[in-house]
């Protein structure tokens, strides 16, 4: 098995078939809806809040609201009131089951529900998927996070409509340091490995450091890419603004950090400062233009044409050109 990550893979161009990159269609379909980009901000407290989620829904982007210190039922009501789709996160504890019961009692079905725990290949996730499928059968259920083909097969068999792949590759994740487990340093080949067995969409979560990594994720099997650090640090971002030597930064911390938990227990995340980047809308437009460029380099006109290209691995034992494999 080849082991590689985003920084030591490059995709190989094919003959361009468009006159302008703007002709390329960067949109993707997930759960019966079309979104402008195959990108979703991480469902973390310092990345998204209700205001950002509302704006993204109104402007054709996918979002997943975080599940921390939040009334999910009220959030779904608020999104409904604004004519937006609802996309929430749940854990696997009793209060999460209570949330499902409340939604059912009120006749509210969120369009998307993400079961969001650090180690998603678990009986607790199987039980929650079963409960959701029984009580909110119309919801599109995303489950994770996982790191192996066995986990993807199990989650799909348990009823998940999409799986989230990535354990610890994120910029504020220290899972591999704390536990010795995860996909940090080989997230891209973990994605390739998992995508080989997947029959439903995969959301690649973590390890994205540049816009070109979005195209690489699509090439190796992702339908959607979840990104934290590139979305943290915008003017609208909910993280606290900090000034250091005259420069402005936003705090960004992992969901499994003590900053998020409010206690130092089973900590697998840390806090960093991201330079303030300007407006979120500007970053999304730039991302879309870069993905359009990627599609043009792939010799295609639509997003999934990126899957047809060959690639090279730079350095290491696997170095060389790899044809469609």
The Cα angle at residue 36 between residues 34 and 42, in degrees rounded to 5: 95
- Side by side, which strands form the sheet with 87-90? 39-41, 224-227, 202-205, 162-165, 140-146, 112-116, 87-90
Q: How far apart are CA 283 and CA 227, in angstroms?
A: 12
**What totals of helices (H) and strands (E) does the chain contain, helices first?**
10, 15
Structure tokens, 42: 């991480």
- List the one residue out of 107, 222, 109, 216 whose CA is nearest residue 164: 222
Structure tokens, 121: 């290949």
Largest CA distance in the chain: 58
> Which of 24, 53, 173, 194 is labelled catalytic?
173
Cβ atoms within 10 Å of 114's Cβ, excluding its own: 24
Active site residue 194: no
Please report where in the chains the tokens 């985003």 appear, as a residue.
6
Known catalytic residues are 173
């Amino acid at each position: 098995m080849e082991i590689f990550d985003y920084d030591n893979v490059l995709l190989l161009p094919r003959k361009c078939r468009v006159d302008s990159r703007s002709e390329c269609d960067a949109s993707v379909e997930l759960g019966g809806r079309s979104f402008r980009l195959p990108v979703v901000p991480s469902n973390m407290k310092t990345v998204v809040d209700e205001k950002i989620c509302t704006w993204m829904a109104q402007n054709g982007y996918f979002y997943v609201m975080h599940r921390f210190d939040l009334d999910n039922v009220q959030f779904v009501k608020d999104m409904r009131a604004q004519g937006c789709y609802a996309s929430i996160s749940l854990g696997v504890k009793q209060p999460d089951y209570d949330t499902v019961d409340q939604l059912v009692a009120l006749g509210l079905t969120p369009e998307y529900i993400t079961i969001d725990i650090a180690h998603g290949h678990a009986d607790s996730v199987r039980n929650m998927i079963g409960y959701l499928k029984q009580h909110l059968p119309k919801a599109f259920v995303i489950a994770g996070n996982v790191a192996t083909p066995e986990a993807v097969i199990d989650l799909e068999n348990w009823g998940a409509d999409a799986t989230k792949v990535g354990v610890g590759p994120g910029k504020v994740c220290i899972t591999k340091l704390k536990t010795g487990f995860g996909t940090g340093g080989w997230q891209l080949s973990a994605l390739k490995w998992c995508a080989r067995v997947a029959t439903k969409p995969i959301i690649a979560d973590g390890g994205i450091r540049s816009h070109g990594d979005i195209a690489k994720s699509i090439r190796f099997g992702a339908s959607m890419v979840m990104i934290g650090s590139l979305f943290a640090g915008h003017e609208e971002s909910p993280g606290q603004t900090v000034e250091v030597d005259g420069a402005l930064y936003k705090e960004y911390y992992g969901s499994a950090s003590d900053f998020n938990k409010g206690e130092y227990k089973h900590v697998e995340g840390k806090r960093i400062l991201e330079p303030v980047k300007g407006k979120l809308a500007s970053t999304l437009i730039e991302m879309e233009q870069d993905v359009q460029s990627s599609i043009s380099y792939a010799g295609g006109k639509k997003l999934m044409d990126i899957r047809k290209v060959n690639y090279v691995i730079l350095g290491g034992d696997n170095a060389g050109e790899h044809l469609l494999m």
